[in-house]
Structure 1
C-alpha cells in the first residue's frame, strides 16, 4: 500500500505546513505580548505627561480650571484610595501590575502612586515629595487579551495563502524529480527513454544532465553491439547455407545427419543473435493472444511429435492483443527453453489481472536454483555449461524479457510451487492495445535515428 507521506511531495507538504504552523503560532504569541507591552507603555507615558502638566498648571496658573477628569484632591479627602501597602499587588492583573511598576520608575523616589477605587473610571493618584495635594489623572483601560482576537482571522488568511504558495512551490520542485524517477524506471525496464528536461535547482539539473548523458552512451553502446552482432550473424547465414547444402550431398548417412544437425544448431544460434540484435519497435498487426497461443501450441505439437504435451488455460478473452511477431517470438522461445531444460507438462496461461493482462508459461522440471534466478535473463549466460553444444546461445530468456519490455510489459522469472520454471509477463491494458499505426511510427522514427 502506497503512503502519501513516503513521496517527496508528501514530506515537503508535512514539512512546510509544520514550519508554517510553528512560525505563525510563535509570531502570534510575540505580537500579543508586544501589543500588551505597548499598551502599558503608552498608558504610562500618558499618565506621566498629565501629571507633569498638572504640576506646571498649578505652578504657573493656579486660578485656571483643570481639564475634565483631571483633579487635585486634598490629602485629607475621604476619596483618597488606600495605600498600596494594603493592596495585594500579586492579585492584580499582569498588565496593571506592569503599569504600576513602570510608573513608579518614571517618578522620583518617595512618590506615592495609588490606583483609583475599583468600579470608578480608571485613574491613578500621584503625590510627590513636594506636592501638597494628590494629582488624579485618567488612565487608558488596560484590557487583558481576548480569547478570540481579530488577529486570528488575518493570521488564518495569511496562513492559508502561505500554505497554498508553499504547496505550489513544493509541487514545482518535485516535478523534475518525478520526471527523472519515471525516466529511471523506464530505463531500468529496458524501454525507450527520451531525454529528461533539465530544470529545477542546479544540483538537480546536473543530475538530470548526467542521466541523459548516461542514457545516450548506453544506447549508443547497445546500438553498436547490436549492429556488430547483427552483421556477424547475417554474414554467417550464407556460409551456413552452403555448408548445409554440401552436407546433404554427402554419401555417408551417419556423417551427413551429424553435420546437418550441427549446422542446424549453428543456424538456430545465428537466428537467436539476429532476434536479440533487432532493437526496433514491432510494427506487425495486433492479434488475439488466446487464439495465437492455441495455434502455436498445436503447431508445436505437429512440428515436434516427441515434444512434451502442452496444456493451455486461456482465459483473457479477445480483448488481450499483442503484436503478432513479438508474441510468436516470445512463445516460441519459452517453449524451446521448456522443451530443452524443463519437463512435461508445459502450461500456457492467460488471464486478466488487477493491473494488466497476464501471460504465463511454466514447465514442471527442476527449475532454476534461487541463487541463479538473477542471472537467468542475462544475455549469453548458460546456467549449465554442459548445455553449450545443444544449439543454445543463452539468449532465450533474455530475448523474452527484452521483447516483453519493449512493448511496455514486465517479465518475472521464477520457480512455481509445483516445481519447475515459470515466466510471468504482465502487460498494461493501454500498452497491450496500442494502435499499430503508433507502433509503426515509433519504429520508423527509431530507424531514422539509427
Structure 2
C-alpha cells in the first residue's frame, strides 16, 4: 500500500507545514508579549502624564475645577485605600501589580501609589513627597478591547498564502525528481528510455545529465553488441548450410548422423544469437494467448508423441493477447529449456491475477540451485558446465527475460516447493489491453 508520506512531495508538505506552524505560533506569541509590554508602557506614561497635569493645574489654577474623573482627596479622608500588600492578589492581579511597580519606577522617589478598594470604579491614588493631598485619577485598562478575531483572520490568511507558495515550490522541485525516478524504473525494466529534461536545481540537473549520458552509452553498447551478434550469426548461416549438405553426402551413417547433430546444434545456437540480437519492436499481429498456448502444446505433442507430456491450464480468457512472434519465442524457449533440463510433466498455465495477466511454464525437474537463480536470466551463462556442446548457448532464459521486458512485463524465475522450475511472466492490464484491442479490430476487419 502506497502512503503519501513516503513520497518526496509528501515529506516536503509535512516539513513545510510543520515549520510554518511553529514559526507562526512563535510569531503570534512574540507579538502578544510585545504588545502587552507596549500597552503597559503606554499606560504608565499616560498615568504619569495625567498626575503631572493635575499637579500643574493645582499649582497654577487652584480655582479652576478639575475634570469629573479626577479628584483631590485629603490624607485624613476615610476613603483613602490601604497600602498594597504582596499577598493581596485578589485585589491587585499580577499584571496590574507589575503596572504599579513600573509606575513607581517612573514617578519620583518617595511617591506612594495605591489602588482603590474593590467594588467601585478602578482608580489610581498617587501622593508624592511634596503633595498635600492624594491625586485620584482613573485607571485605563491595560488590555483594551480589541478584535482578536481580526488578528487570527490575518494570521490564517498569511499562513495559507505561505503554505500555498511553499507547496508550489515543493511541487516544482519534486516534478523533475519524479520524472527521473520514472525513467530509472523504465531503464531498469529494459524498456525504451527517452532523455529526461534537465531542469531544477544545479545538483539535480547534473544528476539528470549523468543519467541521460549513461542511458546513451548503455544503448550504444547494446546496439554494438546486437550488431556484432547479428553479423556473426548471419555470416555463420551460409557455411553451416554447406557443412550440413556435405555431411548428408557422407557414406558412413554413424559419422554422418553425428556431424548432422553437431551442425543442427550450431544452427540452433546461431538462431538464438539472432533472436537475442534482435532489438526491434515486435510488429506481428496479436493473438489470444490461451489459443496459441493450446496450439503450441498440440504441435509439441505431434512432433514427439512419446516424449514428455505437456499439460495446459488456460484460464485467462479472450482478454489476454500478445504479439504472435513474441509469444511463440517465449513458449519455444521455455518448452525447449524444460524438455532439455526438466522432467515431466511440463505445464503451461494462464490466469488473471490482481496485478496483471500471468503466463506460467513449470516442470518437475531438479530446478536451479538457489545461488544460481540470480544468474539464470543473464545472457551467455550456463548454470550446468555439462550443458555445453548440446546446442545451448546460455541464452534461453535471457531471451525470455528480454522479450517479456520488451513488451512491458516482468519475469520471475524460481524453484517450486514441490520440485521443478517455474517461470512466471506477468503483463500489466494496460499493456495487454492495447494488444487485445488491436486483436479485436483485426477480427472485425477480417469478418467485414
Report the TM-score, using the length of structure 1 for normalisation. 0.93
Deviations 1:223-275 (A, max 9, x none): 11111111111111111111111111111111111111111100000000000
What's the counterpart of residue 229 of structure 1?
229
2:282 and 2:160 mapped to 1: Cα distance?
Answer: 52
Deviations 1:197-228 (A, max 9, x none): 11222111111111111111101111111111
Residue 118 of structure 1: how far off its partner (Å):
2.4
Residue 90 of structure 1: how far off its partner (Å):
7.9
Deviations 1:331-388 (A, max 9, x none): 1000000011100100000000101100000000000011100000000000011100
What's the counterpart of residue 443 of structure 1?
none
What's the counterpart of residue 108 of structure 2?
108
What's the counterpart of residue 187 of structure 2?
187
Does the alignment pair 1:4 with 2:15?
no
2:238 and 2:159 mapped to 1: Cα distance?
Answer: 77
What's the counterpart of residue 445 of structure 1?
none
Q: Superposed, which structure 2 residues align to 1:404-443 within 5 Å? A: 404-434=404-434
1:106 and 1:155 mapped to 2: Cα distance?
Answer: 35
Please say if residues 74 and 134 of structure 2, whose CA atoms lie closer than 8 Å, have aligned partners that are also in contact.
yes
What's the counterpart of residue 125 of structure 1?
125
Q: 1:121 to 1:350 in 2, by over 3 A?
A: same
Residue 159 of structure 1: how far off its partner (Å):
2.7
Residue 147 of structure 1: how far off its partner (Å):
12
Deviations 1:279-330 (A, max 9, x none): 1111111110000000011111222334311000000001100000000000
Residue 146 of structure 1: how far off its partner (Å):
9.6
2:323 and 2:138 mapped to 1: Cα distance?
Answer: 94
2:393 and 2:73 mapped to 1: Cα distance?
Answer: 117
What's the counterpart of residue 336 of structure 1?
336
Residue 89 of structure 1: how far off its partner (Å):
4.9
1:274 and 1:87 mapped to 2: Cα distance?
Answer: 100
Please say if residues 32 and 145 of structure 1, whose CA atoms lie closer than 8 Å, have aligned partners that are also in contact.
no
243-252 vs 270-279, which moves further = 243-252
What's the counterpart of residue 442 of structure 1?
none
User: What RMSD in Å do the two structures reach over aligned CA positions?
Assistant: 2.2
What's the counterpart of residue 61 of structure 1?
61
Q: 1:437 to 1:220 in 2, by over 3 A?
A: farther
1:145 and 1:408 mapped to 2: Cα distance?
Answer: 69
What's the counterpart of residue 309 of structure 2?
309
What's the counterpart of residue 358 of structure 2?
358
1:248 and 1:160 mapped to 2: Cα distance?
Answer: 86
Deviations 1:136-183 (A, max 9, x none): 222211249999754333333333333333333222222211111111
* Aligned residues between the structures: 439
What's the counterpart of residue 138 of structure 2?
138
What's the counterpart of residue 446 of structure 2?
none
1:170 and 1:366 mapped to 2: Cα distance?
Answer: 53
1:126 alignment partner, SS class? strand
Residue 59 of structure 1: how far off its partner (Å):
2.3
What's the counterpart of residue 445 of structure 2?
none
Q: Superposed, which structure 2 residues align to 1:127-276 within 5 Å? A: 127-143=127-143, 150-276=150-276
1:382 alignment partner, SS class? coil
What's the counterpart of residue 26 of structure 1?
26
Please say if residues 283 and 436 of structure 1, whose CA atoms lie closer than 8 Å, have aligned partners that are also in contact.
no
Residue 79 of structure 1: how far off its partner (Å):
2.3
Runs of 4+ in 1 over 6 A off after TM superposition: 144-148
Does the alignment pair 1:289 with 2:280?
no
149-158 vs 246-255, which moves further = 149-158
2:388 alignment partner, SS class? helix
What's the counterpart of residue 346 of structure 2?
346
Please say if residues 309 and 345 of structure 2, whose CA atoms lie closer than 8 Å, have aligned partners that are also in contact.
yes
Residue 91 of structure 1: how far off its partner (Å):
6.3
1:223 alignment partner, SS class? helix
66-75 vs 281-290, which moves further = 66-75
Does the alignment pair 1:82 with 2:82?
yes
What's the counterpart of residue 442 of structure 2?
none
Please say if residues 285 and 436 of structure 1, whose CA atoms lie closer than 8 Å, have aligned partners that are also in contact.
no
173-182 vs 345-354, which moves further = 173-182
Residue 116 of structure 1: how far off its partner (Å):
2.4
2:259 and 2:244 mapped to 1: Cα distance?
Answer: 8
Residue 191 of structure 1: how far off its partner (Å):
0.7
What's the counterpart of residue 447 of structure 1?
none
1:157 alignment partner, SS class? helix
7-16 vs 176-185, which moves further = 7-16
Please say if residues 297 and 310 of structure 2, whose CA atoms lie closer than 8 Å, have aligned partners that are also in contact.
yes
Residue 43 of structure 1: how far off its partner (Å):
0.7
